């Protein structure tokens, strides 16, 4: 199966901070999960470069060469993701020729469908959102997301997109596809926006008002509104307008991950744009004639940093590369995806990070691996030579061979539904049981009376650890490799088996040697993290 997932494309008016890293890490974990399962994954991120915000940032930096500025900033974003090990398949910049070609084709299709019309727009515009605002959007006369910014009074002639024409089709799509808007709590909010508040939207700006933006095909006086252009990155990156085979392979997107502030654009404007263009462009239609719409938009929440909003002016917009020296980026990935229920708001603090590092990672996962590998070496000279499928000869509260396949089902469901937090919670619940099992069976005492039962106990936990290594791979890829190495296994050979075949009880070869254990999560006295 193919699996196409995207992050939003980011403005290049600043370098990435932990908020951007959060979205991108979550997407990375889901991409890695689908690759392990053997899916044909296309994981996309990129930069939104046709925005006035970038121009303002460049001017603030005292520069005047926009192309040089955009090149440099796009590289900063690209290299940050590379340094953090984010496994993207493509990085799109909206100033690239492939994007411009697709946008032009798409605009022409919407035009041919009769959904573009020149009208005079008078109203409000928030430069923070790069969005037109109507009364119902405002709180005390201000944009609720940018209460410190004055709204611009705009009066100009623009191209309007007949968005309200698609009200019924959008509602029908939302109702027929409950998975389209996630988490579920967002659906009613979007549904009522579509049903009651959605109006036609201006999709261009006058050239004399904005200095950047893709020119409207056939109208030199106008530039395409930045959101109309930006949303199209998801299609142009997979070949819309330039590579039909690639487009047929990877479109529609299976998952757009977005922040909750931009979900409306993704669940109303975006599908309506596609519905419109699909009337004219056969590439955008399914075999039954219906438009090829994205399958799921998942909005995550926002988080604060030690209780404060993350912002440049507060000086807490930490570079994700500098978050946690000494404890490793896997720990940060684990923390972000475990601590915050995906879809809800949360808080990032050094204290909580270090708490989870100590309790969940060092004590629960790290110690289990360390102790069990050490005991197996000592008592059994490696992986115990036992029949891993045979029932344990002693009474215990945990039966790994039965528990782990159930755990796999939960982990599958968590990652499939874009809920890495739920997958991790299930894994850690099982890890607690595995630790309890060691307390209960006490192999270090048991070995004196019943060496064979001890060997079976240790094999069960070692094999469980192999399963845990597999299951934490999407979130902690480096840690997973270290765990496989502790078990004397080659990670790539394991991964070559595939997710379902790899996660079969008894995959750990009895009698194999075990290398000397090393702590997975070394104690850190103090860290400069956040």
List active site positions. 17, 20, 126, 129, 143, 146, 309, 312
Q: How far is the CB of 125 from Zn ion (least distance, A)?
A: 9
Q: Which stretch binds Zn ion (CB under 5 A): 126-134, 155-163, 202-210, 342-350?
A: 126-134
Cβ density class 36-65: b for 16+ within 10 Å, e for less: bbebebbbbbbbbbbbbbbbebbeeeeeee
Nearest residue to 86 (alpha-carbon basis) of 174, 7, 145: 7
What Rg do the C-alpha atoms of the chain give, in angstroms?
26
In terms of CB distance, is 203 or 324 closer to Zn ion?
203
**Residue from 66, 112, 145, 512 in contact with Zn ion (CB under 5 A):** 145
Q: How far is the CB of 128 from Zn ion (least distance, A)?
A: 4
Nearest residue to 181 (alpha-carbon basis) of 117, 104, 255: 255
Q: Which stretch binds Zn ion (CB under 5 A): 80-88, 143-151, 321-329, 469-477?
A: 143-151
Question: d(Cα 420, Cα 126) in Å, to the nearest integer?
Answer: 34
**DSSP string over 198-260:** ---EE-EEETTT-S-SPEETTEEEEEE-HHHHHHTHHHHTTTTTT-HHHHHHH-S-SEEEEEG
Q: Which stretch binds Zn ion (CB under 5 A): 100-108, 135-143, 184-192, 389-397?
A: 135-143
Q: Are 66 and 1 in contact (CB under 8 A)?
A: no
Question: d(Cα 486, Cα 124) in Å, to the nearest integer?
Answer: 61
In terms of CB distance, is 53 or 417 closer to Zn ion?
53
DSSP 151: P
**Residue from 129, 190, 230, 386 in contact with Zn ion (CB under 5 A):** 129
Q: Under the phi-then-psi rule, with left for phi > 0, alpha for psi from -120 to 50, and beta for the rest, what region is 213?
A: left
In terms of CB distance, is 54 or 454 closer to Zn ion?
54
Query: What is each CA distance from 412 to 30, 407, 441, in whole angstroms?
Result: 11, 9, 30
Q: Which stretch binds Zn ion (CB under 5 A): 129-137, 265-273, 324-332, 388-396?
A: 129-137
In terms of CB distance, is 145 or 341 closer to Zn ion?
145
In terms of CB distance, is 124 or 487 closer to Zn ion?
124
DSSP 451: H
Question: d(Cα 31, Cα 255) in Å, to the nearest integer?
Answer: 10
Cβ density class 312-347: b for 16+ within 10 Å, e for less: eeeebbbebeebbeebbbbbbbbbbbbbbebbeebe
Sequence-ordered list of residues with C-beta below 8 angstroms from that of 6, at least 6 positions apart, any chain: 27, 43, 44, 45, 234, 253, 255, 256, 257
Q: How far is the CB of 189 from Zn ion (least distance, A)?
A: 17
Q: How far is the CB of 73 from Zn ion (least distance, A)?
A: 22
Q: How far is the CB of 9 from Zn ion (least distance, A)?
A: 18
**Residue from 27, 143, 337, 446 in contact with Zn ion (CB under 5 A):** 143
Q: How far is the CB of 431 from Zn ion (least distance, A)?
A: 43
3-state secondary structure at position 143 = coil
In terms of CB distance, is 11 or 470 closer to Zn ion?
11
In terms of CB distance, is 151 or 418 closer to Zn ion?
151
Q: How far is the CB of 19 from Zn ion (least distance, A)?
A: 16
Percentage helix, strand, coil for the chain under 3-state DSSP, each rounded to 5:
50, 15, 35
DSSP 388: T
**Residue from 126, 487, 489, 530 in contact with Zn ion (CB under 5 A):** 126
Q: Which stretch binds Zn ion (CB under 5 A): 119-127, 229-237, 260-268, 370-378?
A: 119-127
**Residue from 14, 90, 113, 128 in contact with Zn ion (CB under 5 A):** 128
In terms of CB distance, is 122 or 148 closer to Zn ion?
148
Q: How far is the CB of 93 from Zn ion (least distance, A)?
A: 24
Question: Binding of Zn ion at residue 146 (CB under 5 A)?
Answer: yes
Beta strands in 374-456 (DSSP E): none
Site string for Zn ion, 71-110 (x = CB under 5 A): ----------------------------------------
Q: Is 258 exposed, middle or buried (0-12, 13-18, 19+ CB in 10 A)?
A: buried
Question: Binding of Zn ion at residue 350 (CB under 5 A)?
Answer: no
Query: What is the total count of residues that contact Zn ion (CB under 5 A)?
Result: 6
3-state secondary structure at position 152 = strand
Question: Binding of Zn ion at residue 457 (CB under 5 A)?
Answer: no
* Dihedral angle of Cα 424, 427, 428, 430, to the nearest 10 degrees: 160
Q: Which stretch binds Zn ion (CB under 5 A): 80-88, 125-133, 243-251, 281-289?
A: 125-133
In terms of CB distance, is 36 or 126 closer to Zn ion?
126
Q: How far is the CB of 146 from Zn ion (least distance, A)?
A: 4
Q: Which residues bind Zn ion (CB under 5 A)?
A: 126, 128-129, 143, 145-146
């Amino acid at each position: 199966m193919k699996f196409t997932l995207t992050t939003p494309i980011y403005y290049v008016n600043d370098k990435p901070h932990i908020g951007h890293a959060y979205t991108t890490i979550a997407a990375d974990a889901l991409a890695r999960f689908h690759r392990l399962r053997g899916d044909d994954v296309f994981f996309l991120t990129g930069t939104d470069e046709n925005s006035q915000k970038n121009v303002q940032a460049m001017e603030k930096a005292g520069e005047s060469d926009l192309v040089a500025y955009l090149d440099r900033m796009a590289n900063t974003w690209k290299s940050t993701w590379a340094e953090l090990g984010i496994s993207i398949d493509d990085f799109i910049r909206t100033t690239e020729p492939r994007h411009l070609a697709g946008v032009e084709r798409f605009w022409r299709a919407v035009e041919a469908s009769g959904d573009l019309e020149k009208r005079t727009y008078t109203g409000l515009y928030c430069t923070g959102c790069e969005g037109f605002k109507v009364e119902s959007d405002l709180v005390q006369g201000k944009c609720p997301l940018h209460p410190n910014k004055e709204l611009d009074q705009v009066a100009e002639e623009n191209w309007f997109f007949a968005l309200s024409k698609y009200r019924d089709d959008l509602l029908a799509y939302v109702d027929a596809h409950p998975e389209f808007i996630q988490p579920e709590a967002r659906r009613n909010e979007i549904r009522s926006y579509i049903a009651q508040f959605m109006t036609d939207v201006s999709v261009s700006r006058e050239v004399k008002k904005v200095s950047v933006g893709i020119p409207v095909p056939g109208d030199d006086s106008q530039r395409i509104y930045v959101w109309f252009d930006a949303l199209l990155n998801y299609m142009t990156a997979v070949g819309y307008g330039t590579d039909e085979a690639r487009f047929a392979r990877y479109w529609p997107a299976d998952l757009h991950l977005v922040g909750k502030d931009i979900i409306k654009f993704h669940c109303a404007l975006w599908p309506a744009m596609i519905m419109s263009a699909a009337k004219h462009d056969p590439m955008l239609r399914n075999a039954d004639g219906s438009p090829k719409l994205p399958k799921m938009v998942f909005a995550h929440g926002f988080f604060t940093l030690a209780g404060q909003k993350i912002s440049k002016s507060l000086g807490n917009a930490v570079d994700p590369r500098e978050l946690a020296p000494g404890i490793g980026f896997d720990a940060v990935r684990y923390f972000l995806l475990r601590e915050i229920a995906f879809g809800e708001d949360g808080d990032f603090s050094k204290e909580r990070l270090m708490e989870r590092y100590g309790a969940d990672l060092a004590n629960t996962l790290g110690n289990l691996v360390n102790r069990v590998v050490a005991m197996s070496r000592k008592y059994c000279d490696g992986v115990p030579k036992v029949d891993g499928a045979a029932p344990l000869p002693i009474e215990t509260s945990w039966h790994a061979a039965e528990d782990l396949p159930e755990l796999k089902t939960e982990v599958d469901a968590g990652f499939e539904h874009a809920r890495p937090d739920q997958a991790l919670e299930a894994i850690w619940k099982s890890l607690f049981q595995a630790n309890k099992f060691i307390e209960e069976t006490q192999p270090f005492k048991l070995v004196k009376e019943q060496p064979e039962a001890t060997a079976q106990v240790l094999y069960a936990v070692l094999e469980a650890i192999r399963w845990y290594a597999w299951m934490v791979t999407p979130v902690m890829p480096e840690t997973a490799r270290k765990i496989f190495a502790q078990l004397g296994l080659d990670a790539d050979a394991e991964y070559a088996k595939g997710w379902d075949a790899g996660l079969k009880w008894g995959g750990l070869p009895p009698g194999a040697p075990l290398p000397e254990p090393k702590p997975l999560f070394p104690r850190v006295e103090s860290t400069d993290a956040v």
